[in-house]
Each structure stands twice: as C-alpha cells, then as structure tokens.
C-alpha cells in the first residue's frame, strides 16, 4: 500500500499538489484527523467536572461566517464551472486538464476552499465539547467530519476538477441552509421562528440521493474520469444514506411516535377524569360539594348534610 501511494504521486495534478495542506504528503491531513479524534475522546473527560462554556455570541459569529463561506463557495463553483464550459458529466484527465488555462484553474481554487473548509468545520465538534453537548457527538457526526477532510485531500491531489465539482456544489448549498439555522438558533429571540430544522436532514438525504445517482450514471456512461474516484463517491454516498437515514428515523420518526403515544395517553386520561367527574356529579345530585384543607368533604344532598374524608 505504501509503495502504491508513492507510485501514485506521479499522477497527482501538478497545479494543486503543492497547495496549502496538500503538499504532496498525506501525513499532514492524517495528523489533523488524529488530533480531531483525540479531542473528541479526551475533551469530554477534561470537561467532566467543569462548567460548560457560555459561547452564545461566538456561536452566532462562527456559524454565520461559515454560512458566508458556504454561500461564496456555492456561487463560485457555479460561476467558475459555467465559465470553464462544464457539463453535468464533466470529464477529467490529468494529462490534458492542467493545460486548459485559468478558467480550469479557477475551478480548482474554489474546490481547494471547499477542502479547507473541512478543517474549519472540525470546530463544530470542539464547540460541542466545550459546551458539554456530548449527546450531539455521535458516530455519524465524527465519521462525517473526519472522512470528508481525508477524501478531499485525495480529490485535490489527484482529481481537482471534472465530476468532483458536483457533490461539492450540492453540499455547499446544504451548508448554507444548515449554518444559517445554527447561527440564528444561537440567538434566543430567533428560536421561535426557526421551523425548518427537520427539513435540513431531509435536504441532506436528498443531496446524497442526487449525488449517488449522478456518480452511478458516470460509471454506466463511462465518463473520462478516474474509476477509483467514481467508486469512492458511490460507496461514500451509500454510507451517508445509511447513517443519515438511520439518524432521521431515530430522531424524527421515533419522536413522532412518542408524541402520538403521549397524546393518546393524555386523551385516555382526560376521558377517565371526565367519567369520574360524571360519577361524582351523579353522587351529589341536587347538592353542593366542597372540601376543606384536611381532606374532609362536606356535601349537601336534598337538604341533608353528609361528611366524608378522603383517603
């Protein structure tokens, strides 16, 4: 595997191989990923006996800046691909792509920003640790953050163009919606107006379905794009559909069933109380019923007084 890795370096894109954090060496991204995993493991242990940090306005600033970055990348990917004459099934071949000039280079630059944003997004988890939101640090959350950075190192090293733009473009749009929600939800006055939370997961699932379909069609249509890149993307989309689908079912469908069960029990309790009230009403017909502080009930039925004490 190591020999294959070093042999593969000769097929790297000469334009991007020495860019920041690419550096023709996977060890830098691997080190960042290791530090991220360690922070997820050690962080909650350090915070166990500490008070959670109050990061309200920092959360607003952080999320709104990622919202702005995601919006920039989404628009720039569209504009740069349009200028470069990209199609929905854009080929990529390292032997001729670098010679297409500045328009193709513009696509590669915005894709590098997408790669680098995955480093910034590690802060999502660090903030959860500092705020002691361990329940939000799920396997899905950690796996998605760690894997995206590593996958995109290989994309930027070997295939920073062609079909690679499609999944990044969709993901940037999802992040525009997602970070807008997170930023606004950190403002207490805005929380009652944020009704679209559950639709974020639905949009993510839709994104994975579209990207899976796009990547699968690229295999069938034999687009001139490295085969390992096609199969990697298809496999990753399958894993995301499984993990995010499970998250959606566990979070929303199960909660919906719980709410329906609680509503049904409440209705049953109300009906039971109503029946009891009806019985009591019949028991004191034509009379008055009051209870004192000691639980003694005085009732007057047809002019006669009766006194009973509650158990």
Q: Is 295 helix (H, G, I), strand (E, B) or coil?
A: coil
Predicted confidence at residue 263, as pLDDT, reads 65
Predicted confidence at residue 267, as pLDDT, reads 60
180 pLDDT more than 70: yes
The predicted model gives 32-60 an average pLDDT of 95
CA distance 257 to 236: 30
Token duo for residue 42: 């050690």
Predicted confidence at residue 280, as pLDDT, reads 40
299 pLDDT more than 50: no
Predicted confidence at residue 269, as pLDDT, reads 58
108 pLDDT more than 60: yes
Token duo for residue 281: 């009403």
User: Left if phi > 0, otherwise alpha if psi is -120 to 50, otherwise beta: which for 297?
Assistant: beta
Token duo for residue 139: 């396997």
75-107 burial by CB neighbour count: b if 16+ within 10 A, else e? ebbbebbeebebeebbebebeebbeeeeebbbb
Q: Which residues partner with 291 through β-bridges?
A: 297
CA distance 65 to 220: 39
Name the residue ranges covered by the structural domains of the chain: 14-261
Q: Express each pLDDT in 251-284 by its tens digit.
A: 876 666 566 656 666 665 555 544 555 444 444 3
Q: Tell me the pLDDT of the chain averaged across its residues.
A: 85
Predicted confidence at residue 307, as pLDDT, reads 42
**Catalytic member of 11, 141, 144, 306:** 144
Rounded to two decimals, what is the model's pTM?
0.81
Predicted confidence at residue 2, as pLDDT, reads 83
Which residue do the tokens 């796996």 mark? 143
Task: Give me the DSSP letters along 200-256.
Answer: HHHHHHHHHHHHHHHHHHHHHTT-SS-HHHHHHHHHHHHHHHHHHHHHHIIIIIHHH
285 pLDDT more than 50: no
Q: How confident is the model at residue 303 (pLDDT cuts 50, 70, 90)?
A: very low
> By percentage, how much of the chain surpasses pLDDT 70?
80
Helix or strand (DSSP H, E) at 259: helix 254-283
Least confident of 94-98, 176-180, 243-247, 304-308: 304-308
The predicted model gives 81-87 an average pLDDT of 95
48 pLDDT more than 90: yes
> By percentage, how much of the chain surpasses pLDDT 90?
69
225 pLDDT more than 70: yes
* Apex 31 CA angle, 112 and 129, nearest 5: 90
Predicted confidence at residue 260, as pLDDT, reads 62
Predicted confidence at residue 301, as pLDDT, reads 39
Q: Quick check: is 144 catalytic?
A: yes
Angle at which helices 197-220 and 227-248 cross, to 10°: 150
Q: Which of 84, 72, 241, 90 minimizes the C-alpha distance to 165? A: 90
Q: How confident is the model at residue 8 (pLDDT cuts 50, 70, 90)?
A: confident
CA distance 181 to 63: 9
Predicted confidence at residue 296, as pLDDT, reads 42
The predicted model gives 98-122 an average pLDDT of 94
Angle at which helices 139-158 and 102-120 cross, to 10°: 150
Q: Is 184 helix (H, G, I), strand (E, B) or coil?
A: helix
The predicted model gives 154-174 an average pLDDT of 97
């Amino acid at each position: 595997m190591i020999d294959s890795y070093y042999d593969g370096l000769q097929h790297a894109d000469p334009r991007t191989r020495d860019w920041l954090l690419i550096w023709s060496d996977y060890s830098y991204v691997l080190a960042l990923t290791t530090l991220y995993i360690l922070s997820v493991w050690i962080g909650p242990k350090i915070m166990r006996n500490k008070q959670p940090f109050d990061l309200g306005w920092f959360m607003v600033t952080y999320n709104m800046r990622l919202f702005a970055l995601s919006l920039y990348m989404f628009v720039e990917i569209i504009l740069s691909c349009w200028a470069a004459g990209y199609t929905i099934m854009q080929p990529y071949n390292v032997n001729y792509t670098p010679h297409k000039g500045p328009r193709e280079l513009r696509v590669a630059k915005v894709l590098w920003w997408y790669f680098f944003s995955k480093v910034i997004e590690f802060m999502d988890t660090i903030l959860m640790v500092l705020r002691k939101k361990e329940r939000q640090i799920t396997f899905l959350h950690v796996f998605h953050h760690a894997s995206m950075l590593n996958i995109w190192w290989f994309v930027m090293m070997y295939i920073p163009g062609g079909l690679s733009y499609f999944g990044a473009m969709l993901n940037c749009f999802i992040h525009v919606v997602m970070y807008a929600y997170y930023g606004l939800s950190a403002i207490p006055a805005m929380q009652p107006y944020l009704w679209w939370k559950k639709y974020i997961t639905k949009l993510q699932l839709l994104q994975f379905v579209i990207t899976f379909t796009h990547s699968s069609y690229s295999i069938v249509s034999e687009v001139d794009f490295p085969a390992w890149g096609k199969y990697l993307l298809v496999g990753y989309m399958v894993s995301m559909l499984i993990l995010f689908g499970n998250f959606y079912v566990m979070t929303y469908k199960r909660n919906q069933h719980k709410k329906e069960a609680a509503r049904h029990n409440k209705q049953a309790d109300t009906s039971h109380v109503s029946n009891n009230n009806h019985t009591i009403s019949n028991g004191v017909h034509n009379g008055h019923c009051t209870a004192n502080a000691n639980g003694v009930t005085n009732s007057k039925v047809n002019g006669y007084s009766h006194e009973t004490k509650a158990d």
